[in-house]
Amino acid sequence: MIETNLPVLLLKELILLPFNEIRIEISKGEDKKVLNISEQNHENYILCVNVPDFVEEKPSIRHLPKIAILAKIKSKIELPNGLVRLVLIGIDRVEVLNYVEDNDNNLYSYVVSTKEYDFDEMEATALKRILLKDLNEYIEISPYISNNVLGRINGINNIGRLSDIIAFELPIDYHDKLKYIEMTNPMNRLKLTIEDLHKEIETVKIEDEIETTLKSKIDIEQRNYILREKIRLIKEELEEDNLKENDIKEIKQKLLSLQAPEKIKERIQKEIEKYEMLSDNSPEVGIIRNYIECLMSLPWEISTEDNKDISKIKNVLDNSHYGLNEIKERIIEYIATKDICDKDQSIICFVGPPGVGKTTMAKSIANALNKNFVKISVGGLDDVSEIIGHRKTYIGSYPGKIIQGLKKVKSNNPVFLIDEIDKMNSNNKSNPIASLLDILDKEQNNRFVDNYIEEEFDLSKVMFILTANDLSSIPTEIKDRLEIIELNSYTIEEKESIAEEYIIPSLNKEYNLNLTFSDKVIKEIIIYYTKEAGIRELNRCITNIYRKHITYSYDGNEIEDIKKYLGNYKYKYLYNNKCAKPGIVNTLAYTPYGGLVLKTTSVYYKGNGNIEITGQIGNVMKESTTIALSYIKENSEIFNIDYSLFTNNFHIHFEEGSIPKDGPSAGVSIVTSLISTLKKMTIPNTVSMTGEITLRGKILPVGGLKEKLITATISNIKTVYVPLDNKEEVMEIDKSITSKLKIKYVDDYMEIYNDLFQEK
C-alpha cells in the first residue's frame, strides 16, 4: 500500500496505536484545515505523527519520525466554543517516505506499509499464553485497567494486534509507550508488552505493600504527605533516579529570585504543589510543568531603560534610513510628546507598499529608544486563539502570539511590531480583530489575560507599532485608534542615493570588495531589473552582482556590462509610439506594491449589446465600466458617435492580468478607450490618465498619485491627465518627478475629449 499526499496531524503527549481509539479536541486553525482536507480528499484517512518533545512550536520536517500511525476519523463534532471533538481509530503502522509542505503550510506525507516479518509460530504461541496469563493477573489486582479489554482481545490470534491493544491500555510512561509506534516487528512488540506488564504487576504489588505500611503509621488527615511518600517509596523500590525532585528544587530556587507580583508567585507555588503530587505516569505532568515554565519565563516586572535624548533618537533614524524627513519628524514628535506629556496616544501605524522601510523603521525606533524589538505577523490570521492563547487544559496548547513575543524578548516594555494588519481575517466563529482591539486599547490592556497563562499581564508599557500595505483594508474599528504614517514609494533618484550611500558600501564591507557602480549602471538596474515601490528587489539585484563577481572571478572593480551579471532586461517600460491603435489607452494604476502603467483595451463586434470585462478586476471597476458606457450613450451626439453601434457587444481588457485590480480611478481611461474604439481614432502612447468619472462626466480625485507619476516617468509617458481636485497633492510631490511630465488638470471629461478627439 502506497498513499501519496496524505495529510498529517501532529500529536504531542498523546499516543494512538493500531486497533485502538482516542478522543481529542482540536482548537488550532491549521489542524482544522488538515481535518477538512482529510474529509474532502482522503475519505477521512489521516496520518498521526508524534512530535518530538524537544520541539516547542511546529517542528521542521527533519525532526519528524519515519514511522507513524495511519488513522481514520471515526466521528467529528464541532462544539459551540470553536473546538472540534474527534474520535480517531488507528489502522496500521506505516513508513513515511517523505514529508512535504504546500504553499499554505499544510503538511503532507508519502507513506508505504511497513516490512513483513517472519517468526517462529511455536514461540509466538508460548509468548501469547504468558501474556494472557499475566494480563488476567494484572486485571485482578490493578484498578488501572478494565476487564473489558479481555472482551476486545477474545479470539484474536494476530500477535501484533494483540500486543497493540494491551499496550495501549497499560498506564505506562508516554516515552515508553512511544516505543510501540517505532517497533514494527510484532514479535518484539509482544516481548516488550510482556516485559511492561511484568513491571506493572510488580509495581502494583509494591503499591499495595506501601499502602498497607503507610495506613498503619500515618493518620488519614495527612493525606498530602501520604501521596508524596508513596511516590518516593515507589521510586526507591524501582531504583529510579530522583529527577523530578531535583527539578522541583530547581524551580523553587528560581522562584525565590523571580521578579513578579506576589499574586503570580502564589499561583506558581500552587502549581508546584500540584506538580509534586502527580505521578510521573500522569498525563497532567507535562501540562503543569510547561505551564510553570511559561509563568516563570515571562518578564512580569523586567523593563529596559528608555533613551530619552531626542537628538540621539534623531541621529539613529537618520543613519538607518535615507530621506523620509517628514516621516522621521512625525515619529520624533510622537515620541517627544508621549514622553513629556506622559499621556496615552494613538498607536503608530506605518502604511505603504512592500520594501519602503516599514519594518526597518520600527526596528530603528526600538534601537533609538534602547528598547527590545519583537515582530509578529497577523496576515491571514483568523483564529482568535493565536492572539489570546489556548486553554492550558488542552493537549498541545500554548500562549498567544503576544505572550510568546514578550517571553522571547524578556522585557515588558519592548517595541512590538504587528505586521500586515490589513490582511487579518474574521469569521462567524472567531474574531481576532476584537481581541486585538483590547490589546491596543490603553484603557484596558494593563489587565490583558491570555487564555493559557490565566493571569493578568500589564501591556501598557509596550510600544505597539502596526504596519499595512493598504490603508483602505485596515478594519475601521482598529483604524480609529491609529496614528497613520504613510511611507510612499521611492523615486528613482532616491533609490540611486540609497544604492550609492547604503547598499553598495554595506556589500563592499560584507564581501571585502571595492566594487564601483556608475550612476548610469545603477539607474539601469532600477529601471530594467526592478519593478517595485521599495528597494528589496534592488538590494537583491546588487547582491547577486557581488556573488557573480566572486564566483566567476571577474577582473576589475568597476561594474559596466550589467547584462553579464543579471542577464537580459527583465522589464521594458518604454512603449513604441508607432504601435498605437484605436481602443488602446494608457491607464495609471496604483497597487499595494506601487504604481503601474496599464493598457486599457476595448473592441466591439456584432452582438446584442452585452459587455465583457477581463483582467482580474473588482466590483468597483466593473461599476466604472457601466458608468462609462452610460455616459457615452447619453452624450453620443456630442461625441459624434452613431447610436446604433451600441447594439454591438463590447469587450474591455485591462493588461497585467495576473495582478488583481479594483478602484474607480480607471473611469476616465475606460471612457477614452471606448470612444477611441467607436470613433476609430488612436490615442498617443505617450499619453496616460487617471480619475474617477460620474454619470455626468465630472472627474473626481483619486489616490496613489506619487506612485502613479513615478511609474509614468520611467514608461516614456509625456502627458498625464489628473483630476483638478488632486492639484494640491501633486504640487507637494518631488519636482524631480513632476518636472518630467506635462500634467493637465481636468475637472470634466469634455476637457479630455476636446484635447484628444476633437477634429481639427
Give the torsion through C-alpha atoms of 232, 233, 235, 236, to 10 deg: 120
d(CA 167, CA 190): 9
Give the torsion through C-alpha atoms of 585, 586, 588, 591, to 10 deg: 100
Q: Identify the three-state secondary structure at position 758.
A: coil
Of residues 511, 354, 374, 320, the one with CA closest to residue 422: 354
Residues 34, 37, 41, 44, CA torsion sign: positive
d(CA 540, CA 335): 33
- Residue 665 among the catalytic residues: yes
For residue 556, CA distances in Å to 2, 153, 502, 508, 560 come to 57, 80, 22, 14, 10
User: Tens of pLDDT along 110-167?
Assistant: 888 888 888 888 988 899 899 889 888 888 888 788 777 888 888 888 888 999 999 9
- The residue from 435, 665, 676, 688 that is catalytic is 665
pLDDT, position 616: 86
- The residue from 177, 495, 708, 715 that is catalytic is 708
pLDDT, position 240: 47
pLDDT, position 273: 83
d(CA 11, CA 49): 6
pLDDT below 50 — which residues of the chain? 239-241, 576-578, 760
C-alpha cell at 383: 483564529
Helices of type H across 170-261: 174-182, 186-217, 223-238, 243-257
Q: Which residues are CB-contacts of 275 (< 8 A; sequence separation ≥ 6)?
A: 248, 251, 285, 288, 289, 292
Q: What is the pTM of this model?
A: 0.60
Q: Which residues are CB-contacts of 188 (< 8 A; sequence separation ≥ 6)?
A: none
C-alpha cell at 760: 481639427
Strand blocks (E) in 429-508: 448-449, 456-457, 463-468, 482-486
- Residue 320 among the catalytic residues: no
Q: Which residues are CB-contacts of 509 (< 8 A; sequence separation ≥ 6)?
A: none
Q: CB 442: neighbour CB atoms within 10 A?
A: 15
For residue 44, CA distances in Å to 2, 34, 726 come to 16, 10, 58
Inter-residue contact 672 to 679 (CB < 8 Å)? no
pLDDT, position 341: 57
d(CA 410, CA 648): 69
pLDDT, position 214: 66
d(CA 652, CA 678): 13
d(CA 141, CA 264): 43
